[in-house]
Structure 1
Amino acid sequence: MSAATASRRARRFVLVGAGFLLAWQVGALVGIPRRTEVVLGLYGFVLHTISGKAYSLVPSYFARRLAVPRAPTLHLPFTAGGTVGLALATVDAIPPILGTLGAAAWAIGVGVFLAALLRSVRDNLSGRETGTGDANAARRPVDRAANAFVPVALAYLALGSYETLAAHIGLPSPFHGVLPRGSHLLAAGTGAMLVFAIGFRLLPRFLVASPPRPLVAVVLPAGAIGPVLLAATLGGGPSFRVAALLEAVAVIGFGAAYATTWYRSDRRRVGLYGVLLGALSGVLAALLGLSFAFGSISAPLTVAHLRLNLLGFLGLTIVGVAYQFYPPAIGSFPGANDRTALASILCLGGGLLVEVLGLASGTALATTVGESVALVGAGLYAYLVAGVFHER
């Protein structure tokens, strides 16, 4: 598969993800159920965008080529349609069969994705061959460590997708078919783990600086173990506290590693600000999660935790990286510049902060204002990526 073809197919996933992000923010403003938010934000936005880039990044990071060039074309209709079905199934008036069909379609699409990537790297699963050139030889130890945890993220994707299917059709499951457990497997296990593993390879190259190796050595194993413990112990108890601590160590450690790499760098491109705000959101989400594990849980704060993780940590990180790959300034359409990109990042991050403060204080007006500002940010992001892709 040529580089141009791979790029074109990745863009389709990014564009679909941007559409789901926009739908999610509209839904949040009008008050859709929290489960619907999870489907649109996690399955629709986060996992579609990550999958699209993984088709090109993962094989190259393992010094291989994608073995099934048509996999992205087969994958996308199933997961996009599956996401729509899963989202509609969260509405009370919708027949449950839509959820079953959505879960099945999602699982088929994920199966195509996993089969294509695993076939591509099957003779290098440990990731020891990194494709790192001699000019970056000093980065190879971190690259090998990061590669080793990519299969962990893929395993979580398989497990979380199976859990989603099990919840809708009654299959036996180690997590009893409880949807929030499956969401944690996908968000923390797949989403966050890929941010850690791919991020430790990709972001230092964007910044032309190196992360502290001790933090890399702590973040990757903690991020690998934490999600399965969280899913298994969700609800409380000593084991849940251990799981929350492990996940907090991973997220806060990654934030510290990125902040240190940022400090060491003189690069200040607009997308990198998005990743920085994403890392900060992740730290706040981790601290809030620890308060749940060692204190009490309230409904408004669980919504804040969800938004900080999905829209903040994962969402802003994805938006920032997307602007690195697809700089708006290359476009010639109205608003195609770094100022508009920065406005979208600030609206997403600022709106999220106002919303969280509103949820924490019980101020409905602040929550609504924050959601409205975040919607503007999502709209600007969708407009910019759609405009860049159209011109390409």
Structure 2
Amino acid sequence: MLFKGNHVEGLNGITYHTFRIPAVVRTNAGTLLTFAEGRAKSNKDYGNINVMYKRGSNNGQTTGDWSTLMQAASIGDDTIGNPTPVVDRQTGTIWLFMSWNSANMSQSGGANPDTGLPTTRITQWGQRRVYVLRSDDDGITFKGMDGSSNPTDMTATLTPKTRADGSAWAWDAVGPGAGLYTSDGVVIIPAQFRNIYSKDHGKTWQVQKLPESAGEATVTELDDGSLYRNDRANSTTWSAAERRWVSRGSIDGGFSAYKPDDQLLDPENEASVLFYNNAEPDAPTRTIFLNSASTVARTKMRFRISYDNANTWLMSRPLSDFTLPSGSGTEGGYSSMVKTADNNIGAMVETNLDISNNDVSARGILWHKLNLGWILHGCAC
């Protein structure tokens, strides 16, 4: 168990009820940085939520290779989450984008789990905001753009004020999961209805709008240099196909309309995609995908491999083939993947520690280390 919920693990006077929303990157030094939301008193998406992280050495091989719990961002008792990190491969800077709202607000209303007081539903632009931190010391510390420990508010630049239908751009989310550094040096953060990007190593940031049919986003660069967005559809769109929704394109040329991938069943949940390698004389190009391969449950986690730039997925294997240690709960939910320096695959996956699916149910995050051979011993299904 990498992040232990149920009030086992904590920092700064808080032992966290739940850890959710994983994200992982590998730094230029080979260090693994794993991020998660630390939810103070419940598994709800609002209330006192902070962005926590751990640093991993030795490619995350054993439990002893991980640091103790560290804090990347906290703003009082407010909600700051959706960690979306990315590494600039030229400069080595680690960028960490996050989404924020105040403690008395939430996406759909409901009682604040920390205070019991009612929250107000987010309905206006600016009630949900984009924050960013950076690290220039391999993830030992994170700072705002002004050099302080406070994250920098980038909402005015990076969140459009209106949606395509003219309504307010109220609810918003970056990622969650890992961002992308492209082969031509562009830093990309996938976000709701848009890509956030920088072509000058974070000196300036811009927005590329996308079709508004999907929300939580993952992005990778394929062997042919094109960009591949594989997103969680919004509820109305999802119900039409119950699949992952895909768009392809580029920062300069734009993206295609989203279409469902018939092969990728989805229970209206987050997923993760990892471009593993370019085509070589002795090896095909490989793209790896991980999600819950079900239309009804988040517990059917499955790895898939594509050899043709994510057009077809020929090989797969269920994550349930891993034997989990006692106390690991019921695995399934959000995930994040990384290629480790020893050419293996590291995967963070949520787990339900209490089996039940209510406010009392604590959550944690597991770490898996596997190789391509493990997936290939699955099936052509």
TM over 0.5: no
TM-score by length of 2: 0.28
| Greater share of residues in helix | 1
